[in-house]
Amino acid sequence: MERTATIAVLVENEAGVLARVIGLFSGRGYNIESLTVAPVDETRSISRITVVTTGTEMIIEQIKAQLDRLVPVHKVSDLTLDGAHLQRELALIKVVGQGEARVEALRLADAFRARVVDATTESFVFEMTGNAEKIDAFCGLMKPLGLAEVCRTGAVAIARGTRAL
């Protein structure tokens, strides 16, 4: 039985650390659905990597153990397993069109709580945050209305409640 896991990894913010993580996934044939990384402390010495992956329970356990034994890794947490968590991603979506399609795009954006962050007479750039399914759904609706370009950050995630990594 395969499942999806959202794994948070705290690492030393040093040269090559991302290459180590990505190399581990490619070298051992694990999937990466998405991966995000940025420093998260005030001195910028620690980065947090959020990686969404799929695999059997045995594989996911392996992925976590393999990540944990990388020298610059401080902590690995399986947010999917460790309890309820929030997962968000940011997307910028460009829709090009005129007339009725343009009006319809704007109406749907409103319903999805996507913000207009750029507009010309022939285009919009929408900004939207949410889980992956919501963004997928919105992009699907924009397709016939002139969807021109999509960029997405990949997921970031955090546990609900008082628990902290």
Shortest reach from residue 70's CB to another protein, in Å: 8
Q: Is residue 95 within 8 Å of 138, Cβ to Cβ?
A: no
Q: Is 64 or 85 the residue whose CB approaches another protein more closely? A: 64
Contacts of range 97-100, beta carbons closer than 8 Å, 24 or more positions apart: 97/122, 97/123, 97/145, 97/146, 98/122
Nearest-approach distance from CB 15 to another protein, in angstroms: 7
Using CB under 8 A as the criterion, what x/- string covers residues 104-143 for binding another protein? ----------------------------------------
Choose, by CB under 8 A, the member of 33, 34, 61, 78 that binds another protein.
61
- If you write DSSP's letter for every residue of 89-130 in order, what string do you get? EEEEEEEE--HHHHHHHHHHHHHTTPEEEEEETTEEEEEEEE
CA distance 41 to 113: 30
**Shortest separation between residue 32's beta carbon and another protein, angstroms:** 16
Phi, psi of 69 (to 5 degrees): -90, 0
- Member of 16, 29, 99, 161 binding another protein (CB under 8 A): 16
Q: Which residues bind another protein (CB under 8 A)?
A: 11-12, 15-16, 19-20, 23, 27, 58, 61-62, 65-66, 68-74
